Amino acid sequence: MENKKRKLTDMQDEPDTYINHVSDNASSIPLICYQHIFQYLPIESLISVSLTCKTWYNILIANRFCFNKYTKLNLLNENQLMTVSNSKILRHIKQIEIGKYECGLVIPIPTMTFQFHFTSLYLLKLSFTSLSPLFITSLFNCVSHTLQKLILSVKFSSGINIKKELMNPVQSCLCLLSSLHLLPNLIHFFLLVSSSTRIEFDIEKHFQKLTKLQKLIIRLDYYINQRTPMKQLTSIHYLPNLKHLEWLDVVPNDLQILSSIAYLPPLQYIHLQHTLITNEVLHYLSKISTITSIKSDRFSPIQSKLNLIGFNYLLSLKETLKELEISTKDIVYDELMIMQQPTEADCTEDEYEVHLTFEHVNIFKQFIHLTTLSLNKIRISIKDIDDLLSSMAYHNKLKILNLESVCFPSFTILSTMISLEELSLSYPYNRHQEEYTDKDLFKLYSLKNLKVLILYHSINLTKMTRQQLKRNDNLIFEHLDEFIYNDDDEDKEDCDG
């Protein structure tokens, strides 16, 4: 029997040819079965499958449903990209990551010609140092109708000499931004510049055509723009579907501008992790009626800057707010002293947490639609937090509860919060008074939906219980996917010793 190895080029047929071939063969497996089976195969296996027979090869080159939407292809350099761009098999891939963050992709201007054939590319993650305009245009034109998520990392490498045939990182980034109009279906855009590089960024110029954009994230170490902040932020009305905005370091004036825009997009989240939260910030934030999430690790502990008045402003969001994170873990004492000068300090170095009283709790109890609540380095009494969580349990909406460096509630109260899916109790305030036992933990058995449990170290919890929680077949929480016990490794060493 003649046994010759078939070449890939010998298997190429027109798309309609393989359909007739499959339908004419009475013993062939239905096409939909092939699709379902191939979806579970990794990239390497799909390539091997394509070399098995002509029928399978033709199915793969003509049917994008054979590729799982979570299958991602990682490419390290331009040579691999060239190979993939001309592959009829891999053109149906849905996620691609090009280049490494440590050394960005370099595409010379005159030497390379790319012919892309991607049909279903949904997510593109690109780390680059220098890209040619032709490369950018060719790639974006190819994925214009399918690409919805674009993640960019601009890497400036001092070890690479920028020659005449290479564009520098800033020029490449600006060229790429100017080409975004070729991606009208983009819903997620992320830009990261890893060095102190000057980038001229303009919402109106670069994003005006992206009317479907829902998430805009810009992270730069050094930022300079051609227009004033007022002009930049007022241009946000060109993005009518924008819900998530991470705009560098947001200051109160930025929020004031946003809250005064007549045709403001339905913003649900504004990144505030680097913003000091004060009464003024909460006042302007409360005027954006579509906000559903407030998260920050920089709530001001200075009572003259943040007090009950500021939290009262949030009552205007009580029908929409779903996520609330109040934390002071990123507050630096020296920074507070500078802010308070020349007035006398109203907090000390050993005590600069936000104080929540029963009056604050009465405000939070009105947020009946909360699904996530996080308190970190916050001063609140056990009585008040028990009262708050009892109210949350009554409304049965809270799914994620994260408490760290606070006085923890009683396990009896926690056991009534049957809607919880994630529970984190880490580093209790006044730890020596917070020890719990196996009996206390078993009270949480009623939390049938619990999937993630993070507990602080307790010397009263037996090793057998901890081991049971870590097993997949644990009898305490049948749906628990992840269990973390603080200082567990240290405790294990003590037991072994």
What is residue 113's three-state secondary structure? Answer: coil
The domain total for the chain is 2
Shared-domain flag, residues 75 and 100: yes
Q: Which of 48, 67, 86 is the last residue of a domain?
A: 67
**Torsion (CA) 99, 101, 102, 103 in degrees, nearest 10:** 30
Terminal alpha carbon distance of the chain: 68
> Do the domain assignments include residue 82?
yes
Whether the CA torsion 180, 186, 189, 191 is positive or negative: it is: negative
pLDDT at 151: 94
The pLDDT tens digits along the chain (497 residues) read 444 444 444 444 444 444 445 444 434 677 777 777 777 776 667 777 777 777 777 777 766 666 666 677 888 777 777 777 777 777 778 888 887 655 667 777 655 567 788 888 899 998 888 888 888 898 899 899 999 999 998 877 655 555 555 678 888 888 999 999 999 999 999 998 865 667 777 888 899 999 999 999 988 755 444 444 555 778 899 999 999 998 777 888 889 989 999 889 999 999 998 888 999 999 999 999 999 999 999 998 888 889 999 999 999 999 999 999 999 888 876 665 555 444 444 455 445 568 899 999 999 999 999 999 999 989 899 999 999 999 999 999 999 999 998 988 999 999 999 999 999 998 887 655 567 888 888 888 889 899 999 988 888 888 888 887 777 666 677 788 888 887 665 444 444 44
Which residue's structure tokens are 């973390």?
484
Q: Where are the beta strands (DSSP E) in 407-469?
A: 422-426, 452-455
* 39 and 18 both lie in a single domain: yes
Query: In DSSP terms, which residues pair with 354 in a beta bridge?
Result: 378
What distance in Å separates the CA atoms of residue 413 and residue 446, rounded to the nearest whole number?
11
Q: Decide if 309 is inside a domain.
A: no
Identify whether residues 129 and 236 lie together within a single domain.
yes
Q: Where are the beta strands (DSSP E) in 258-317?
A: 269-270, 293-296
How many CB atoms lie under 10 A from the CB of residue 272?
22
Q: Quick check: is 361 in a domain?
A: no
Task: Find the helix packing angle between 43-50 and 54-62, rounded to 10°.
Answer: 130
Helix ranges restricted to H, 128-278: 133-142, 169-178, 203-207, 229-234, 252-260
* Half-sphere exposure at residue 307, Cβ-oriented, CA atoms within 13 angstroms: 6
User: In this predicted structure, what is the pLDDT of residue 188?
Assistant: 97
Does 77 lie in the same domain as 137?
Answer: yes
Helix pair angle (279-286, 252-260), 10° resolution: 20
Q: Is residue 188 part of a domain?
A: yes
In a domain, 294, yes or no: no
Tokens of 332: 């630096």
In the listed set 191, 222, 248, which residue is the last one of a domain according to the structure?
248
Domain end point (choices 17, 45, 67): 67
Q: What is the C-alpha separation between 275 and 230, in angstroms, rounded?
A: 18
- 159 exposed, middle or buried (CB, 10 Å; 0-12, 13-18, 19+)? exposed
Residue 372 contacts residue 399 (beta carbons within 8 Å): yes
Q: Specify which residues 348 forms β-bridges with.
A: 351
Domain check: are 13 and 98 in the same one? no
Q: What is the crossing angle of helices 15-24 and 54-62, to 10°?
A: 130
Q: Classify residue 311: in a domain, yes or no.
A: no
Same structural domain, 33 and 125? no
Residue 97 lies in a domain: yes
Question: Alpha helices of 77-168 — where are they, by DSSP H?
Answer: 78-85, 133-142
User: Range of 11's domain?
Assistant: 1-67
Write down the residue that tokens 């939407």 correspond to: 69
Residue appearing with tokens 């790639």? 139
Whether residue 6 is found in the same domain as residue 148: no
Q: How far is CA 270 from CA 167, 194, 218, 242, 265, in A?
A: 34, 22, 12, 11, 12
229 in the same domain as 159:
yes
Which pLDDT value is given to residue 112?
A: 59
Residue 163 burial (CB < 10 Å; 0-12/13-18/19+)? exposed
Asked if the bond preceding 342 is cis, omega within 30° of 0, the reply is yes
Residues 167 and 46 in one domain: no
Alpha-carbon span 28 to 258, nearest angstrom: 61
Amino acid symbol at 375: L
Query: 79 and 223: one domain?
Result: yes
Q: Are strands 323-327 and 244-247 parallel, antiparallel or unpaired?
A: unpaired
pLDDT, residue 383, reads 93
CA distances from 313 to 262, 288, 459 (A): 21, 11, 43
| Backbone dihedral region for residue 27 (phi beyond 0: left; psi -120 to 50: alpha; all else: beta) | alpha
Check whether residue 151 and residue 231 sit in a common domain.
yes
pTM: 0.80
Q: Is residue 135 part of a domain?
A: yes
Question: Is residue 76 located within the same domain as residue 223?
Answer: yes
